[in-house]
Amino acid sequence: MWGVNASRLGLAAAFVVGALPALAFPAPSWWWLAWIGVVPLLLVVRAAPTARTAALRAWCGMAGYILATQYWLLPSAGPLLLVLAVGLGALWLPWGAATYLLLREPNTVGRTGAAMAVLPSAWVVAEAVRSFPGLGGPWALLGASQWNQPATLASASLGGVWLTSFLIVAANTAVAGVILNRQLPVRLVAAAVALACAALGPAWFWLGPAPPAGSTVRVALVQPGNIEDSAARQAAGEALTDDLRGRRVDLVVWGESSVGVDLAGDPDAVARLADLSRRVGADLLVNVDARDRTGEISKSSVLIGPGGVRGTYSKMRLVPFGEYVPLRPLFGWATRHTKAAAEDRKRGSGIAVLHTEDLALGPLISFETTFSDLPRELVERGAQLLVYQSSTSTYQGSWAQPQLAGMVAVHAAEVGHPAVHTGLSGVSSAFDARGRQLGWYAATESGVLVVDVPLGLHTTTFQRFGNWVLAMALSILACGIAWLVIQHAGRGERLGTGSGA
């Protein structure tokens, strides 16, 4: 009985401490907590009696983390949120087993050093797998917790958000090594690694190349607020935009679902918006959420100038269950018990760079804000300014809104290009090419945020070499597995080479 109770207590403790790093993200934004917040989970997992139990504790802990960072899905997803947390948490089973094998007694320099390489690798690979669009995308990756700290976020320009996550987990592992080891040399090595991981980003921020000085564009982010009726929403956007006359803006950006009619089939609506563009003296990037001429619902970014439509981009990465139901014959029941999409939205065919007379824009919509590969591809195609449009009114007032707005800083730093984000009902934000905040408009506000965005651009290491951190992490894991197999083979364990029946 005591064994059963102890096992349950360990799982419960893992669930609680696993959720702790969620406080590093908005709204609390205790960014510093990320650098030590995984230590309690490491200690709970390491204290398990077996590798199997350790893996289960890691599973429980990460389920708690996912529930804490995405709690706002509960009203719309219902019981699917628990399924999501349990399913995604399972990706950390190998991390839990590795934690037990590398951090248990006896603690040596070699094993502690291996832990500081293997555990971050296992963590980052788990994050990469959960980042597949069909699994919900890369929400609350640990590295994204540094969105409001350009110095520590600078590591993202070297290896993307993956490198920032790797460094954070390595630092946490090193701190755990300092706590667990009694030998002074081991403690000193672990402490040095923790400091080096924390210092890499700031060192690159202060000593690495900075974007060259460039021209500046004035961008207006229109945030009308939480207006349910589509016609009233569009009218509010038009009124706020009309007030910009005389302010010499270069671009006006509306949020997702800001236009409720299909502009391709409504020339009068296009003419009205083109006239608005003429009066303001700037192109408008609006967002259409309507049935097109085929009868399907699609979401599109539409750039409108004084002469009409300049270009269109249709959203291609849809929200699982929110905009389509994966394997609808199998999971269609979810539409009866949650707010899952009753019908699948139309998927766009690919990304697009839209051009004003003087500026190349890379538009992305809502869920696409979470992905690192899309802005990288847009920059490769010549985009000068990343422009995100979202609507999170379903989660109004929750942590989802500042979390989404903060991700824009991560991508700006990754690709070395400025980025702006308009939330229909908040949060709107803007960041320069190093991820430094230029503007922030809370979800409690409605109106227009006007920001001067410097177009100083530079090619980052991540932009040039891509996901090299993931390749490194997979290589480290492969070496770790090979070492484990060799160790067991040498001892005659599990491979049938030892004596005895």
> What pLDDT, in 10s, does the model give residues 260-286?
999 999 999 999 999 999 999 999 999
Q: pLDDT band at residue 79, thresholds of 50, 70 and 90?
A: confident
Amino acid, res. 265: G
What is d(CA 9, CA 3) in angstroms, rounded to the nearest whole number?
10
Q: pLDDT band at residue 499, thresholds of 50, 70 and 90?
A: very low
Asked whether the whole model's pTM tops 0.85, one would answer yes
Label the pairing between strands 428-431 and 437-441.
Answer: antiparallel
Quick one: CA dihedral 321, 444, 287, 29, positive or negative?
A: negative
Rounded to an integer, the average pLDDT of 482-490 is 78
What is d(CA 405, CA 252) in angstroms, rounded to the nearest whole number?
18
User: How would you write 180-233 as a 3-class SS string?
Assistant: HCCCHHHHHHHHHHHHHHHHHHHHHHHHCCCCCCCCEEEEEEEECCCCCCHHHH
Q: At what angle do helices 39-46 and 51-69 cross, to 10 degrees?
A: 150
What is the model's pLDDT at position 108? 84
CB 438 within 8 A of CB 453: yes
Give percent of the chain above pLDDT 90: 81
What is d(CA 287, CA 151) in angstroms, rounded to the nearest whole number?
34
Label the pairing between strands 385-390 and 428-431.
Answer: unpaired
Of 73-77, 121-125, 309-313, 351-355, the range with the lowest mean pLDDT is 73-77
Q: pLDDT band at residue 497, thresholds of 50, 70 and 90?
A: very low
pLDDT of residue 151 exceeding 90: yes
Estimate to the nearest angstrom the gap between the alpha carbon of 37 and the chain centroid. 18
Q: Reduced to 3 states, what is the DSSP secondary structure of residue 464?
A: helix
Q: List Cα–Cα distances, 69 to 35, 142, 162, 251, in angstroms.
A: 17, 11, 18, 33
What is the model's pLDDT at position 490? 65
Give residues with Cβ within 8 angstroms of 496, minimum separation 6.
Answer: none
What is d(CA 387, CA 237) in angstroms, rounded to the nearest whole number?
17
Rounded to an integer, the average pLDDT of 140-151 is 98
> What pLDDT, in 10s, does the model give residues 154-196?
999 999 999 999 999 999 999 999 999 988 988 999 999 999 9
Quick one: CA dihedral 166, 183, 17, 99, positive or negative?
A: positive
Q: Reduced to 3 states, what is the DSSP secondary structure of residue 291?
A: strand
Give residues with Cβ within 8 angstroms of 55, minimum separation 6.
Answer: 93, 94, 96, 97, 100
What is the model's pLDDT at position 358? 94
What is d(CA 7, CA 10) in angstroms, rounded to the nearest whole number?
5
What is the model's pLDDT at position 495? 35
Give residues with Cβ within 8 angstroms of 130, minimum separation 6.
Answer: 88, 91, 136, 138
Q: Reduced to 3 states, what is the DSSP secondary structure of residue 316?
A: coil
Please state, as a whole number, how many other Cβ atoms lie within 10 Å of the Cβ of residue 239.
12
pLDDT of residue 147 exceeding 70: yes
